[in-house]
């Protein structure tokens, strides 16, 4: 054995590398250990944690799915992930389509994200375009789909999505900020307007909707009216 290799095996550098590897593996495995507990625990998102850490405002009132107007999750499904009730956390067909319509290496970071993937990102990862994040996101979404029922995934999503320009998270805070009402009282147009500002509630507003937001809302409204059964997996047994 070369003396240089022997020296590395006995060096402090080797011990540091081993410890760093162990720490990295533990960090990667923590989300898989934590996710099953979110059946009964209401999680916070990484954007919320970041805002708290930086002293920024966070407004969220957790509400169960049965206290959110059913038209909101239906509209969100049709806008964000039409295969939600049937996919396994990722949508391979949408991923292939995204790859076919993009000519750069960040194709996977531009869409084709299911609602389950967005939950994985919001709870455990970071925002922005990154192929590294996508590589981590895919298996996490598959795992979340295994350990959490669809109804709970949607409930978490609607309670952690960022829906306002000043730290408004979740459907209840969104409805109160935009319309001065509870999420359970949203009508179809209001649900469509809230859906239209995802995923950029800073540049788009349901409180002061632009022409673009109104156009998107009209599209979402028509889709929700035309496909009322796309939320079948969310209905209580």
Q: Where are the domains positioned within the chain?
A: 1-38, 42-232
* Residue 100, H or E segment: helix 92-100
Q: What angle do CA 142, 232, 141 make, to 5 degrees?
A: 10
H or E, element range at 159: helix 150-160
pLDDT reported for residue 105: 41
Cα–Cα dist 205/190, whole Å: 12
Peptide bond into 199 cis (omega under 30): yes
pLDDT along the chain (237 residues), means of 10: 54 83 91 97 96 96 97 97 96 68 44 88 90 93 98 98 96 98 98 95 95 97 96 86
Q: What is the pLDDT, as a whole number, of residue 17? A: 85
Q: What is the CATH number of domain 42-232?
A: 1.10.3810.10
3-state secondary structure of 59: strand
Report long-range pairs for 105-109 (Cβ below 8 Å, ≥24 apart).
105/131, 106/130, 106/131, 108/134, 109/133, 109/134
């Amino acid at each position: 054995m070369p003396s240089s290799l022997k020296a590395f095996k006995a060096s402090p550098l080797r011990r540091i590398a081993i410890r760093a590897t162990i720490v990295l593996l533990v960090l990667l495995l923590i989300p898989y250990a934590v996710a099953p507990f979110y059946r009964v625990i209401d999680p916070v998102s990484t954007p919320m944690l970041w805002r708290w850490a930086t002293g920024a405002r966070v407004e969220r009132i957790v509400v169960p799915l049965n206290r959110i107007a059913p038209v909101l999750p239906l509209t969100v499904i049709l806008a964000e992930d039409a295969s939600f009730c049937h996919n396994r956390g990722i949508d391979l067909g949408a991923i292939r389509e995204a790859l076919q319509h993009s000519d750069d290496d960040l194709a996977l970071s531009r869409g084709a994200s299911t609602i389950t993937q967005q939950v994985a990102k919001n709870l455990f990862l970071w925002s922005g375009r990154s192929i590294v994040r996508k590589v981590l996101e895919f298996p996490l979404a598959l795992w979340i789909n295994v350990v959490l029922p669809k109804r709970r995934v949607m409930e978490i999503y609607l309670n952690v999505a960022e829906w306002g320009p000043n730290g408004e998270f979740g459907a209840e805070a969104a409805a109160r900020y935009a319309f001065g009402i509870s999420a359970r009282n949203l009508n179809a147009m209001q649900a469509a307007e809230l859906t239209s500002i995802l995923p950029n509630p800073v540049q788009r507003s349901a409180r002061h909707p632009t022409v673009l937001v109104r156009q998107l809302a009209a599209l979402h409204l028509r889709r929700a009216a035309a496909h009322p059964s796309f939320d079948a997996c969310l209905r209580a047994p």
